[in-house]
């Protein structure tokens, strides 16, 4: 399997190198939304004497810088890609090879993240400096951030595949994926840090998986939660990963039987 | 079942499709209540293919050819019936099966567009776990047979359709499959590229002994490659046997072409049905049984007026066309 991955990585890096500019543009596009929210919260905080709940302007800056980094590392677009692959018949040859199609997506995902991480860090450093971001994280937070962001990425990826698999039934997964993304927008910590969501929404966010993809790793990186809480949150992330892994096994097995090789 | 490489028994596939009339009202109605209809793409076919055979799979568009190939390669689950390829149930898609099989579709790509084919070959080598020495040998052979030297180092998107098809062939055969399903392998290619692909398939079969089932709308592909053909129509098997016997079975007439000095004026309708007349060259359709006798009579009666005469089976395209248009029992005087 290591050899397969090495070969897939080489191929994918070559393919990605053809689209460097496009990658950078996508990355910048992904940063715009958090920056807008950051600017909005800065304005709100300014109007309320510098604070909203436990967050001041510098905390917001740290949170949205952390969230942008996590979003870059943990978001996956596979459900959109997958629909395209099914409609264009590109999935068929992959299904007929002795390698599960998910592995190509894993590699694509990781390569995309590798090619955008450096420019991303430069942009985020600039934003952090501009807004004077204050990170409260200790070295323990930084150590915990690594497993947390890996689990967040795994969870977003697996959940994305579960959503994508609905394409076996509908062939049009866009609507489902968009609905999913809208839910993530509210509950993953993009519109506001989870700690600032109104009571009931916060409870819902803690029960749903979305926050464990982005918000939780961002809060750990920012140092917004203490170390014991971080460990609990990471455990919950791990549970969600196991749940979505199991769910994917089931929906894939059933879905692939539905597959009619459309357009293939 | 026998020891055949491909064994198919009563294989069926029904697709459920939604239908609606054109127009806004019908569109709105379809939101609430969908009309669905079952289409029997493959309606119970049975056949077997022995190791090393090259079999042509013929039928008009929508006959069920591609659906059958997709089931045999493992892409589709059948609605009913059984199939085994190399002893495996294809749609279980066991790795041991996938490693010995390929499905090549002329109008689909499986290569990564942005990188040279040589790099895709490496990825496929790892996926199929082809040892380095066999990989080098196979790629060497494929490069030679398909004349790929110049092509494998260019990004696939920079290749012409014909060039890409050759590279696709190579990519589909990296694992040296024992069974190859080829769906319209020469579609969209110019004549010389078609000839090359044909030659390649024949040579590949000869060198490796691979079993090949191919569909094509170009009868030249079938004539050049397949001794045996399977004809399906509306998902049902119409004919399975030697290509040479297809005309005999499906078109019970022969074609006599007589060339005369003064052909423009001659009336040969007493010898058979005149189907074409081109200056002195007259084409007659004659019942198969009496064709030799009619030809002899023509030679006898016309004597010196005749410059050339031939008795042939009707062109294979015509035979197939008759089968598909339901004119199976062609009548001739």
pLDDT at position A263 = 45
Secondary structure class of B302 (helix, strand, coil): helix
Q: Does A139 touch chain B (CB under 8 A)?
A: no
A198–B contact, CB cutoff 8 A: no
Measured between CA atoms, how close is B40 to chain A, in angstroms? 14
pLDDT for A233: 96
CB atoms within 10 A of CB B157: 13
Whether residue A220 has pLDDT greater than 90: yes
B229 touching A, CB under 8 A?
no
Percent of chain B with pLDDT over 90: 36
Return the pLDDT at B263.
64
Does the pLDDT of residue B144 top 80, yes or no? yes
pLDDT digits (tens, 9 = 90+) for B237-256: 988 999 888 877 777 888 99
Tens digits of per-residue pLDDT, B262-307? 766 678 888 888 888 887 888 999 988 898 899 999 899 888 888 8
Interchain contact B122–A (C-beta under 8 A): yes
Q: Beta strands A55-56 and A51-52: pairing type?
A: antiparallel
pLDDT tens digits, one per residue of B48-91: 999 999 999 988 888 889 899 999 999 999 999 999 999 999 99
The token pair at A83 is 């629909």
Instruction: Report the pLDDT averaged over residues A235-255.
Output: 95
Cβ separation B115–A96 shorter than 8 A: no
Contact at CB, B119 and A14, closer than 8 angstroms = yes
B138 interfacial to chain A (CB closer than 8 Å)? no
CB contact under 8 A, A4 and B73: no
pLDDT band (50, 70, 90) for residue B97:
very high
A23 interfaces chain B, CB cutoff of 8 Å: no
Compare all CA atoms of chain A with the CA of B73 and give the residue at the minimum distance. Answer: A96
| pLDDT, average across residues B209-222 | 89
DSSP letter string, chain A: -HHHHHHHHHHHHHHHHTTHHHHHHHHHHHHHHHHHHHHHHHHHHHHTTSEETTEEHHHHHHHHHHHHHHHHHH---HHHHHHHHHHTT-HHHHHTSSS-THHHHHHHHHHHHHHHHHHHHHHHHHHHHHHT------HHHHHHHHHHHHHHHHHHHHHHHHHHHTHHHHS--HHHHHHHHHHHHHHTTSSS-GGGS-HHHHHHHHHSSGGGTTHHHHHHHHT-S-HHHHHHHHHHHHHHHHHHHHHHHHHHHHHHHH---TT-
CA proximity to B208, closest of B138, B147, B144: B138
Instruction: Give me chain B's average pLDDT, please.
Output: 86
The rounded mean pLDDT for chain A is 88
What is the distance between the alpha carbons of residues A135 and A231, in angstroms, rounded to a whole number?
A: 19
Number of CB pairs < 8 Å for A and B? Answer: 76
Q: A150 near A217, Cβ under 8 Å? A: no
Comparing A23-27, A53-57, A152-156, A208-212, the range with the smallest average pLDDT is A23-27
Residue B125 sits at the chain A interface (C-beta within 8 Å): yes
Is any Cβ of chain A less than 8 angstroms from the Cβ of B70?
yes
Percent of chain B with pLDDT over 70: 94
**Domains detected in chain B:** 6-248 (3.40.50.300), 252-312 (3.30.70)
Place of tokens 């990186």: A221
Min CA distance, B119 vs chain A (Å)? 6
List CB contacts (< 8 A) between A95 and chain B.
74-75, 93
User: H helices within B147-252, ranges in order?
Assistant: 161-172, 191-208, 219-225, 243-250
Contact call for A93 and B122, based on CB within 8 A:
no
pLDDT of residue B68: 94
Residue B3: predicted pLDDT: 66
Residue A98: band (very low, low, confident or very high) from pLDDT cuts 50, 70, 90:
very high
Q: Do A264 and B15 touch (CB under 8 A)?
A: no
Q: Distance from B111 to chain A by nearest Cα, in Å? A: 9
Are the Cβ atoms of A96 and B95 closer than 8 angstroms?
no
């Amino acid at each position: 399997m290591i050899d397969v991955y090495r070969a897939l990585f080489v191929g994918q890096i070559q393919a990605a190198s053809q689209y460097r500019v496009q990658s950078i543009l996508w990355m910048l596009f992904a940063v715009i939304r958090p920056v807008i929210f950051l600017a909005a919260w800065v304005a709100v905080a300014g109007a309320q004497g510098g604070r909203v709940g436990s967050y001041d302007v510098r905390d917001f800056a740290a949170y949205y810088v952390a969230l942008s980094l996590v979003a870059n590392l943990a978001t996956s677009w596979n459900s959109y890609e997958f629909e395209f692959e099914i409609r264009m018949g590109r999935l068929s040859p992959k299904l007929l090879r002795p390698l599960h199609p998910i592995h190509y997506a894993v590699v694509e995902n990781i390569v995309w993240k590798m090619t955008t991480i450096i420019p991303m860090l430069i942009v985020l450093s600039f934003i952090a400096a501009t807004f004077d971001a204050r990170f409260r994280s200790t070295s323990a937070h930084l150590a915990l951030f690594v497993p947390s962001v890996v689990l967040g990425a795994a969870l977003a990826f697996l959940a994305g595949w579960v959503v994508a698999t609905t394409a076996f039934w509908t062939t049009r997964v866009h609507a489902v994926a968009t609905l999913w993304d809208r839910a993530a927008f509210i509950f993953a910590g993009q519109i506001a840090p989870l700690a600032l969501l109104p009571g009931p929404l916060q409870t819902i966010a803690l029960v749903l998986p979305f926050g464990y993809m982005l918000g939780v790793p961002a809060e750990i990186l920012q140092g917004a939660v203490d170390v014991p809480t971080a460990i609990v949150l990471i455990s919950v992330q791990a549970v969600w990963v196991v749940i979505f892994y199991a769910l994917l096994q089931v929906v894939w097995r059933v879905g692939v039987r539905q597959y009619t090789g459309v357009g293939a | 079942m026998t020891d055949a490489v491909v064994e198919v028994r009563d294989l069926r596939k029904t697709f459920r499709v939604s239908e609606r009339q054109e127009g806004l009202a019908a569109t709105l109605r379809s939101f609430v209540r969908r009309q669905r209809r079952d289409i029997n793409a493959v309606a119970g076919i049975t056949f077997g293919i022995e190791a090393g055979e090259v079999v042509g799979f013929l039928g008009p568009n929508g006959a069920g050819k591609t659906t059958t190939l997709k089931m045999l390669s493992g892409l589709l689950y059948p609605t009913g019936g059984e199939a085994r390829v190399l002893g495996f149930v294809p749609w279980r898609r066991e790795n041991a099966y996938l490693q010995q099989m390929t499905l090549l579709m002329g109008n689909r790509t499986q290569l990564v567009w942005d990188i040279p084919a040589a790099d895709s070959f490496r990825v496929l080598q790892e996926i199929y776990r082809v040892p380095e020495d066999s990989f080098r040998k196979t790629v060497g052979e494929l490069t030679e047979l398909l004349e790929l030297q110049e092509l494998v180092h260019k990004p696939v998107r920079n290749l012409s359709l014909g060039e890409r098809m050759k590279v696709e062939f190579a990519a589909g055969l990296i694992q040296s499959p024992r069974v190859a399903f080829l769906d319209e392998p020469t579609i969209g290619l110019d004549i010389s590229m078609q000839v090359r692909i044909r030659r390649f398939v024949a040579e590949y079969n000869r060198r490796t002994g691979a079993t090949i089932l191919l569909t094509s709308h170009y009868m030249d592909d079938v004539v050049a490659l397949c001794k045996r053909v399977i004809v399906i129509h509306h998902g049902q098997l119409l004919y399975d046997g030697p290509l040479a016997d297809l005309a005999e079975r499906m078109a019970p007439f022969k074609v006599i072409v007589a060339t005369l000095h003064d052909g423009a004026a001659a009336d040969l309708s007493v010898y058979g049905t005149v189907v074409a007349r081109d200056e002195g060259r007259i084409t007659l359709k004659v019942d198969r049984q009496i064709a030799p006798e009619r030809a002899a009579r023509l030679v006898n009666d016309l004597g010196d007026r005749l410059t050339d005469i031939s008795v042939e089976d009707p062109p294979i395209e015509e035979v197939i066309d008759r089968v598909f248009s339901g004119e199976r029992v062609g009548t001739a005087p």
